[in-house]
């Protein structure tokens, strides 16, 4: 379910949140699913349990998960949660990409044409399904 | 008192030595339930600082509080210290050593010790003299982690070990660390494999604190891994 290689130059708790969001958007996780316990996830990812705790707490604050006392942490159910998240993540990525391209001096048509040729050439690496 | 909010609290902590690795004016506030990395090259004062926290060295100046008190017999009973040196008697067997240390500590957990021993591929009847360096390091960690200590101090637990022993040791630390009632300080001069263990890190240089912050804050501020930051600081 998760990419277990972290980029150590970025805050790790943010990467944990991102991996969970991505798994949700991809469909590897669904709303209502129970997340692994903090301890299990810490051992699996080989990171500090407090880092996982912080990631879970932040996800709770932004409303991605809810913790039920004594039962664990669950991905929140709701209308269009996944859809909204996907749209957010996609538009974030695209905006960043467009800004970068423009900073290289590409014009609008240039960007569109590069994307349309590249889109068939580039393949995503297989996601590891270590957790499921 | 303010210091009871912290597992370790120090102000202006100073220990002089005729030798080199003294510490000078160390201020620390280490919260309960956290894992701290004590980083620095050899001779930067890491062991001296850990020994002051363990109550094995008396500071010359400054204040230190461990679990809310100045180090004393009570705090020593709640602190597990894994020294860098090889302290195991070579003529003993693993079983003898475990019997010996289990009698010394009231918080010794036999079931945990057996489990750890198995995980580390060690058995009671092995003689210390027959163990490799990596196996002795694993045994030292078994001894430190089989106690239910409130404060665990590990001095260079990975130094000079083969990759598989290092991996095992990191796994055990993550598996056995109980954030609800434990705090851990781990010193190392090899940061790569350990950096994802740390909540916060202290960079020591010539006995003084060079950098101190949460690991994620440092990553964000410098856009570097702790390992790369370490290389940059001590290049």
Residue B92: is its pLDDT beyond 80? Answer: yes
Output the pLDDT for position B167.
87
If one compares B215 and B193, the residue with the highest pLDDT of the two is: B215
**Tell me: the pLDDT tens digits for B12-61?**
999 988 765 699 999 999 999 999 999 999 889 999 999 999 999 999 99
- Which residues of chain A neighbour B219 with C-beta distances below 8 Å? 8-12
Q: Are A14 and A32 in contact (CB under 8 A)?
A: no
Q: What is the pLDDT of residue B19?
A: 66
What's chain A's Rg over C-alpha atoms?
A: 17
> What's the whole-number mean pLDDT along residues A85-103?
90
Q: CB A9 to CB B175 under 8 A?
A: no
The mean of the pLDDT values for chain A is 87
Task: Determine the length of chain A.
Answer: 132
Other residues' Cβ atoms within 10 Å of the Cβ of residue A15: 21
> CB-based burial of residue B58 (10 Å sphere; 0-12 exposed, 13-18 middle, 19+ buried)?
exposed
Pairing of strands A72-75, A65-68: antiparallel
Q: Would you state the structure tokens that stand for residue B130, as one six-digit string?
A: 């027959």
Q: What's the pLDDT score for residue A130?
A: 47
Query: What pLDDT does B211 receive?
Result: 95
Phi, psi at B26, each rounded to 5°: -90, 125
DSSP annotation of B93? B
* pLDDT per position as a tens digit, B163-201: 888 888 898 898 889 888 899 999 998 898 899 999 999
N-term to C-term CA, chain A = 6
- Is residue B134 classed as helix, strand or coil in its secondary structure? helix
CA distances from A120 to A92, A98, A101, A115, A124 (A): 22, 19, 19, 9, 11
Predicted local distance difference test score (pLDDT) of residue B20 = 57
* Mean pLDDT of all residues in B65-74: 92
CB neighbourhood size of B68 (10 A)? 15
Q: pLDDT at position A44, please?
A: 87
- Asked whether the beta carbons of residue B228 and residue A46 sit closer than 8 angstroms, the reply is no
Question: Which stretches of chain A are assigned E, i.e. beta strand?
Answer: 65-68, 72-75
pLDDT digits (tens, 9 = 90+) for A26-53: 889 999 999 999 988 998 888 999 999 9
Q: From the CA of B78, how many Å to the nearest CA of chain A?
A: 22
Chain A residues contacting B via beta carbons under 8 Å: 6-14, 42-43, 45-51, 53
Distance, in Å, from the CA atom of B6 to the CA atom of B27, rounded to the nearest integer, reads: 12
């Amino acid at each position: 379910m998760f990419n277990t290689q972290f980029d150590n130059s970025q805050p790790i708790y943010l990467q944990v949140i991102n991996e969970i969001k991505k798994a949700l958007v991809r469909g590897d996780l669904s709303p209502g699913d129970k997340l692994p316990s903090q301890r299990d996830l810490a051992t699996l990812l080989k990171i500090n349990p407090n880092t996982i705790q912080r990631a879970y707490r932040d996800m709770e604050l932004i409303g991605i998960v809810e913790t039920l006392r004594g039962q664990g942490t669950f991905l929140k159910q709701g209308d269009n949660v996944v859809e909204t998240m996907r749209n957010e993540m996609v538009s974030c990525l695209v905006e960043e990409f467009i800004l970068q391209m423009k900073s290289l001096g590409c014009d609008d048509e240039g960007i569109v044409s590069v994307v349309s040729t590249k889109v068939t050439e580039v393949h995503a690496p297989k996601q590891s399904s270590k957790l499921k | 008192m303010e210091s009871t909010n912290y597992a370790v609290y120090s102000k202006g902590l100073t220990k002089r030595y005729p030798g080199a690795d003294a510490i000078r004016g160390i201020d620390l506030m280490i919260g309960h339930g956290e894992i701290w990395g004590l980083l620095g090259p050899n001779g930067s004062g890491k062991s001296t600082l850990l020994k002051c926290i363990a109550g094995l060295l008396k500071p010359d100046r400054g204040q230190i509080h461990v679990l809310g008190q100045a180090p004393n017999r009570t705090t020593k009973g709640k602190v597990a210290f894994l020294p860098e040196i090889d302290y195991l008697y070579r003529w003993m067997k693993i079983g003898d050593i475990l019997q010996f240390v289990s009698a010394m500590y009231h918080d010794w957990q036999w079931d945990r010790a057996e489990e750890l021993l198995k995980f580390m591929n060690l058995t009671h009847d092995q003689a210390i003299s027959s163990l490799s360096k990596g196996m002795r390091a694993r045994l030292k960690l078994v001894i430190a982690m089989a106690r239910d200590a409130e404060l665990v101090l590990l001095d260079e637990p990975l130094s000079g070990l083969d990759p598989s022993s290092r991996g095992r040791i990191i796994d055990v630390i993550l598996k056995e660390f109980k954030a609800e009632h434990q705090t851990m300080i781990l010193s190392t001069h090899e940061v790569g494999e350990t950096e994802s263990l740390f909540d916060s890190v202290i960079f020591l240089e010539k006995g003084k604190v060079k950098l101190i912050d949460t690991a994620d804050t440092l990553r964000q501020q410098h856009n570097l891994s702790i390992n790369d930051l370490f290389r940059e600081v001590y290049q």
